[in-house]
Amino acid sequence: MADPAPGSRAVEVPLRRLDRWLAGFAARHGEVVVTTPELAAGWVVRAADGATARIGRPAWLGHVAAGPATGRATGPATGPAAAPAEQLAALGRLAPEFGVLLIRRAGYAVASFHGSEVVERKVGSRHIHGRTAAGGWSQQRYARRRANQADEIVGAAVAAAVRILGRERDPGRPGPQFLVTGGDRPLVAAVVEGLDPVAGALPVAVHLGVGTPDGSVLAGIPDRVLAVEIEVAEPPHQPEPGTAP
């Protein structure tokens, strides 16, 4: 979402809390009407007192609508045939299947999610040697060591991704509909290049900035990905009774 307009503020709301957020907006500002002036951009919620909430369309939503049914996910109801209010209600109930690949030199995390629930995951780490202050051969040994460490972390991440996201995953469960990546872009590209045709064909919907991947970073991914950005504009100022407008 672009920077909010003057006099407005931007908030990010996880889908699991979207219904509650919309109910609170209506409670504060009065009856609301939902429109989609530009469906590709999202929805506009206008309240009785003049307040508005512009809700951005998540980047991954097109991959869910185009993909197979995923049980609790209600992809078709978010399409243009549904009324705008119904689209938003369905959006809050979405629980898409998606894969996650996070990698930096110190570690990696690969997982598959059903909505906010982790289905399978693998987290690994590597010790990173400090840089030597000496030059010459010592500096060259350091560079080779760093290259070897990168090769090791990429290889481990590829093996985990093939098992969790690719051909070796359990064939009895639905596959991911899109991929979320994060961390070091060259390392991500190296892992994707090494994947099998199944995992490698997943569309990358979102790339996130992350620290060293670990269990806590991985646990926070669903709320970062399955969320909407909302630009809220308060109602126009109303003059006090008896004063000039």
pLDDT tens digits, 189-199: 999 999 988 88
> Looking at 3-7, 41-45, 222-226, which range is the least confident one?
3-7
CA 19 remoteness from chain centre? 19
The pLDDT of 159-173, averaged and rounded, is: 86
Entry pTM: 0.79
Q: Regarding the domain delimited by 97-225, which CATH topology (the fold level of the hierarchy) does it fall under?
A: Nucleotidyltransferase; domain 5 (3.30.420)
Q: Which tops the pLDDT comparison, 37 or 112?
A: 112
pLDDT attached to residue 143:
45
Quote the tokens at residue 218.
């991985």
Distance between CA atoms of residues 71 and 91, nearest Å: 14
pLDDT tens digits, 43-99: 999 999 999 999 999 999 989 865 433 333 434 455 555 789 999 999 999 999 999
Helices (H), the chain: 18-29, 61-66, 84-93, 136-165, 185-193, 197-200, 215-219, 221-225
Quote the tokens at residue 210.
């992350």
Quote the tokens at residue 54.
């512009």
> Looking at 92-96, 130-134, 147-151, which range is the least confident one?
130-134
Q: How many CB atoms lie within 10 A of CB 27?
A: 8
Assign 3-state DSSP to the chain and report helix, strand, coil percentages, each to 5. Answer: 35, 25, 40
> What are the sequence ranges of the domains in the chain?
8-93+227-233, 97-225
Model confidence at 245, in pLDDT bands (50, 70, 90)? very low
Residue 35: enclosing H or E segment and its boundaries? strand 32-35
The pLDDT of 100-123, averaged and rounded, is: 95
Phi-psi region of 37 (alpha: psi -120 to 50; beta: other; left: phi over 0): alpha
pLDDT attached to residue 126:
78
